[in-house]
């Protein structure tokens, strides 16, 4: 099943190929003999929001660093906007905005000086710099911090400042490596809202995270990585369709759900169950039209049901399925 997904995403459909902004072909990166990235193949179309999902140490940051022209691949070809990342780094840098997972800021500078510095490094004229600084401060809701010292900003604000810096030259492609890592829930939501806004602006975004719920809301496609291997990549609906000829069921029970789970597991067509309070999510591998048989069986066995509905597989389901539950 997993192999099928990889093949499908590696080839991609023709419409994606013509408009693909990011493309990786047989990309590998070895640290001495350790394969941090092992033969990655995927494409991201223009305007797509690609969620790069995997646990720490899976190879996400290495891949993003290679795309951000900070690291050379051991093997393979990477391109962004048609430019070869290895051979034409300067052209690539012109069209990308890169936000690393862990970064420092120049604490001695004022917020506007920090942004002006990076805007100048992106060759913007003084007039353009002023306008761009004002625009990105507004977008990241930092306008009131224009004259504040960078060192006086909170962690969340520094994160937003870094994102503001990333947007200064209006890049077509954004490479965001764990943009919400280490933030409190409030700041996390703010960053998520910002990324959502960027999606609306039509940017092509590659955003990595090991927290699935962070990406679930706005990603149009995903890549799932584990231990340097790309397990699946492609549009969420395509992967879902390939993975689940299966039906996801959401069953709400009255009383103890563990008894209902035991009864469900007696059925060979129920493959996997998870429980959240009184809501049981079960993967049904039988014929979609025969779901009513399962409902009958539960009722016959005395399970008191409050709800029995079919649901779409979400990111969590996909991730668990692809990684065989070993990472969850």
**Contacts with 1 (C-beta within 8 Å, 6 or more apart), sequence order:** 242, 243, 321
Six token digits for residue 86: 């290895």
Select 64 or 248, whichever has its Cβ closest to another protein: 64
Smallest Cα–Cα separation from 285: which of 296, 277, 273, 275? Answer: 273
Q: CB 229 → another protein: shortest distance, Å?
A: 24
Q: CB 32 → another protein: shortest distance, Å?
A: 14
Residue numbers at the binding site for another protein (CB under 8 A): 65, 68-72, 89-90, 93-94, 96, 98, 100, 102-106, 108-109, 113, 117-118, 120-123, 162, 165
Q: CB 105 → another protein: shortest distance, Å?
A: 7
Rounded CA separation 23/17 (Å): 9
CB 151 within 8 A of CB 108: yes
Q: CB 102 → another protein: shortest distance, Å?
A: 6
Select 35 or 89, whichever has its Cβ closest to another protein: 89
Select 67 or 222, whichever has its Cβ closest to another protein: 67
Give the pairing type, strands 20-31 and 34-45: antiparallel
Q: CB 95 → another protein: shortest distance, Å?
A: 11
Select 165 or 188, whichever has its Cβ closest to another protein: 165
- Where would I find the beta strands (DSSP E) of the chain? 20-31, 34-45, 49-53, 75-80, 83-84, 96-99, 173-177, 204-209, 221-226, 229-235, 247-253, 270-276, 279-284, 305-311
Place of tokens 């759900």: 257
Smallest Cα–Cα separation from 12: which of 67, 20, 207? Answer: 20
Q: CB 224 → another protein: shortest distance, Å?
A: 25
Select 65 or 281, whichever has its Cβ closest to another protein: 65
Select 62 or 240, whichever has its Cβ closest to another protein: 62
């Amino acid at each position: 099943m997993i192999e099928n997904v990889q093949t499908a995403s590696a080839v991609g459909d023709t419409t994606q190929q013509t408009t693909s902004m990011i493309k990786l072909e047989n990309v590998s990166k070895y640290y001495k003999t350790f394969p941090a990235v092992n033969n990655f193949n995927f494409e991201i179309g223009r305007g797509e929001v690609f969620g790069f999902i995997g646990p720490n140490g899976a190879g996400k940051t290495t891949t993003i660093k290679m795309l951000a022209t900070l690291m050379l691949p051991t093997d393979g070809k990477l391109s962004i906007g048609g430019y070869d990342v290895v051979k034409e780094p300067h052209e690539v840098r012109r069209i990308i905005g890169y936000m690393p997972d862990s970064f420092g800021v120049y604490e001695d500078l004022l917020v506007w000086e920090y942004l002006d510095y990076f805007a100048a490094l992106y060759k913007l004229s003084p007039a353009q710099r002023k306008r761009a600084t004002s625009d990105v401060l507004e977008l990241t809701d930092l306008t009131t911090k224009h004259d504040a010292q960078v060192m006086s900003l909170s962690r969340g604000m520094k994160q937003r400042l870094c994102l503001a810096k990333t947007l200064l030259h209006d890049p077509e492609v954004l490479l965001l490596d764990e943009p919400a890592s280490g933030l409190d829930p409030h700041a996390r939501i703010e960053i998520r809202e910002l990324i959502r806004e960027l999606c609306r602006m039509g940017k092509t975004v590659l955003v990595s995270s090991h927290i699935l719920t962070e990406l679930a809301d706005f990603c149009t496609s995903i890549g799932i990585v584990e231990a340097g291997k790309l397990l699946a990549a492609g549009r969420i609906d395509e992967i879902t369709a390939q993975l689940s000829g299966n039906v996801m069921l959401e069953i709400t029970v009255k009383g103890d759900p563990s008894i209902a789970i035991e009864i469900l597991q007696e059925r060979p067509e129920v493959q996997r169950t998870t429980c959240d309070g009184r809501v049981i999510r079960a993967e049904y591998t039988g014929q979609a039209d025969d779901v009513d048989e399962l409902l009958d069986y539960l009722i016959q066995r005395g399970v008191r049901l409050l709800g029995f509905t079919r649901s779409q597989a979400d990111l969590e389901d996909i991730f668990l399925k692809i990684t065989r539950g070993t990472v969850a």
